[in-house]
DNA sequence: ACATCATATCGTAATATTGCAATCTGTAAA
DNA sequence: TTTACAGATTGCAATATTACGATATGATGT
């Protein structure tokens, strides 16, 4: 036990969940916010900004990358990260449909 | 170690993260979808629909409730769950701002 | 009162996540 | 080539999550 039964759920449900899960940590929300303040790409000041060790941030970046939320390209000595809107859109549309399907509720 | 450094991040960042985290499991995405198919409230068929034990589903419902995504009211013998749009909106608006801030990127 | 049904809670095992120091890798400057 | 820097990876400890059987709780019907 303790193993998530992913195979029991649809591809879509797993996809939505993995995007949301990637956003589900304050450090990763912070990273996304930092990526937005920089014009487009950021070449890693993140370590200086956030109160976490370099190894930890590298790990969080990897998770965001694995979930497809950010992309990184090597640019000489440094890495250049930016947000991939595809996944953001997918989750956004899911939330939109939740809002739309919502009917008056007495709860 | 192993303890998330929540206090190092803003209330907003923690809030967004906890909403996303709650959605970050396929079973919980499935539960949300089920709640949408029922007109407004659902009086627990979830256990019959999902391939998980009753205890597990109860736990997932609790997490969604703790995150503020769903609300439950007792209705005689059964419980009546429905979605609370406030939190959905908050995360939705965050994603919207991510999309809006996005500027052309060469990555 | 008793049985029944719907859910919650407890206890526990398996697995995943978080965080960091230390170390490795690859690029660029000296 | 040596040095220095930016990141990634590894190894490990602490903690959290997932899942479920068993049991508790609480309301309804008999």
Closest CA to B46 of B36, B35, A69: B35
pLDDT of residue A73: 79
pLDDT at B106 over 80: no
Give one DSSP letter per residue of A55-79, joined into a string: HHHHHHHHHHHHTTSEEEEEETTEE
Domain at B11-96: CATH code: 1.10.10.10
Instruction: Answer for A105: CB within 7 Å of strand D.
Output: no
- The predicted model gives A74-87 an average pLDDT of 81
Would you list the DSSP string of B38-58? Answer: SSS-EES-HHHHSSS-HHHHH
The string of DSSP letters for B88-105 reads HHHHHHHHHHHHHH----
- Residues pairing with A42 in the sheet: A81
Residues 6-65 of A with CB under 8 A from B: 6, 8-10, 13-14, 16-18, 20-30, 32-33, 36, 39-41, 50-52
| B45 pLDDT tier (thresholds 50, 70, 90) | confident
Nucleotide nearest to B4 (CA to C1'): C18
Q: Residue ranges per domain, chain A?
A: 12-95
Q: Give percent above pLDDT 90 in chain B.
A: 61
Chain A residues with CB-CB distance to B9 below 8 A: 26-27, 29-30
Q: Is the dihedral of CA A79, A85, A91, A95 positive or negative?
A: positive
Structure confidence by residue, pLDDT tens digits, A15-64: 999 999 999 999 999 999 999 887 555 666 899 999 999 999 999 999 99
Whether pLDDT at A4 is above 90: no
Distance from the Cα of B62 to chain A's closest Cα (Å) equals 16
Amino acid A100: pLDDT:
86
CATH of the structural domain A12-95, one choice from 3.30.1360.30, 3.40.50.2000, 3.90.25.10, 1.10.10.10: 1.10.10.10
Over 60: is that where the pLDDT of B29 sits?
yes
* Residues paired with B79 in a beta bridge: B74
């Amino acid at each position: 036990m303790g193993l998530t039964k992913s195979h029991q759920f649809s591809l879509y449900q797993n996809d939505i969940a993995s995007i949301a899960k990637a956003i589900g940590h304050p450090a990763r929300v912070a990273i996304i916010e930092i990526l937005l303040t920089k014009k487009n790409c950021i070449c890693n000041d993140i370590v200086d900004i956030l109160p976490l060790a370099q190894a930890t941030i590298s790990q969080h970046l990897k998770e965001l990358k694995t979930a497809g939320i950010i992309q990184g390209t090597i640019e000489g000595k440094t890495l250049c990260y930016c947000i991939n809107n595809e996944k953001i859109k997918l989750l956004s549309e899911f939330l939109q449909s939740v809002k739309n399907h919502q009917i008056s509720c007495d709860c």
